[in-house]
Homo-oligomer: A and B are copies of this chain.
Amino acid sequence: MVIVMEHNATSEQVEHVVDKLVEKGFDVHRSTGVDYTVLGAVGAKIVSTRDFAAMSGVREAHRISEPYKLASRAFHPEGSRVRIGDVEFGGDEVVIMAGPCTIESEAQCEEVAAGVAEAGARVMRGGAFKPRTSPYSFQGHGEKGLRIIRKAADRHGLLVISEVMESAQIPLAHDYIDIIQIGTRNMQNYNLLRDIGKSGIPALLKRGMSATITDLLLASEYIMAEGNHNVLLCERGIRTFENLTRNTLDLSAVPVVKQISHLPIIVDPSHAVAIRNRVAPLSQAAVAVGADGLLIEVHQDPENALCDGAQSLYVSQFSELMDSMRRIAQAVGKNIAEPTLA
């Protein structure tokens, strides 16, 4: 931490801050300039800069190390690879996850699973528990839905990713899910994060609508602190003043995360752009910017989808998009992860 004292801070005030720092276990280095005295506090502990910023005579306090540890690239410089089944995230292959917003029926899941597997997806997405902004919207089929998606995915060699909304649903995840999705609204539901950490099940953690990248890494720390290091981060759009898109997809987050964290970073373009014909260009951009995977909504009959039909691709559109993503991946020295032959 670096503490800048006020222009007119008294020496008593400076001493008081130094004492407090030493008490907290820091080594303190003092620099006295014409205008300001600066204290450099070096130590292992994470403390609140605001508590120091509020002390009398203090002008500003800056953190000089990240507030997270396990998620930091500083201590795991080469980048993590997260292997789930025969799929690996974080290497030279871009993993495509696709499927409907919500699991509606066996016929639907079979049709989508067949379509996306044929096109080259490795993981099937589909929601059984749906967090909806309105209590009057459809809330998902629960366990019955999970059973359906599991069967459809198995028939086509796909892994399953699905959202878990509360700790009580984690046992179901053990039975049916390969990757637990933690939704935007639950990014800071700390009890849930801890319990998923304890479960050991791989997790995809979506960035909160108003979470900074630092917040996202701190949230991932809750999972990893319980010993579960199979964490995928996911950029899905942040809230801004722009209103022609639902959220603003922050693709800069991909190179930033690559630089400061070792965890794989996935992009979900569907929720941010919210309108079908914008999903393909943003998916292409996500591959070009270096994402380790994508999460894309695909539906066999979007006009009659129970939820998010407007942003779901037709199966045929998804198949075309896979082709253009393959070309782009190659253009940047990577590959789309392809199904292994049986």
Contact = CB atoms under 8 A, between A and B. Distances in A.
A60 interface: yes
A80 interface: no
Contact of A65 (B36, B54, B249, B311): B36
A286 B286 CA distance: 10
A251 B54 contact: no
Interface string A35-70: 110101011101010110111000010101101100
Given A165-B191, A252-B273, A255-B278, 19 more contacts: A8-B77, A33-B43, A34-B42, A35-B44, A48-B307, A54-B302, A135-B194, A166-B167, A186-B189, A210-B210, A238-B242, A242-B250, A243-B243, A244-B256, A248-B252, A251-B285, A284-B332, A285-B286, A327-B332
B212 A241 contact: yes
Contacts of A111: none
The complex is assembled from copies of this chain, and their number is 4
A67 B133 CA distance: 10
Interface of A: 2, 4, 6-8, 27, 29, 31-36, 38, 40, 42-44, 46, 48, 50-51, 53-55, 60, 62, 64-65, 67-68, 74-75, 77, 131-137, 165-167, 185-186, 188-192, 194, 208-210, 212-215, 218, 221-222, 225, 238-246, 248-256, 259-260, 272-278, 281-282, 284-290, 302-303, 305, 307-311, 324, 327-328, 330-332
23 contacts: A2-B2, A34-B43, A35-B74, A36-B42, A36-B65, A38-B42, A67-B133, A133-B188, A134-B221, A210-B241, A212-B242, A212-B243, A214-B244, A238-B240, A238-B248, A240-B240, A252-B273, A255-B278, A255-B282, A259-B277, A281-B288, A284-B289, A288-B288
Contacts of A6: 74
Of A38, A252, A276, A330, which is in contact with the most chain B CB atoms at under 10 Å from its CB?
A252
A310 B42 contact: no
A246 B277 CA distance: 29
B209 A210 contact: yes
B189 A210 contact: no
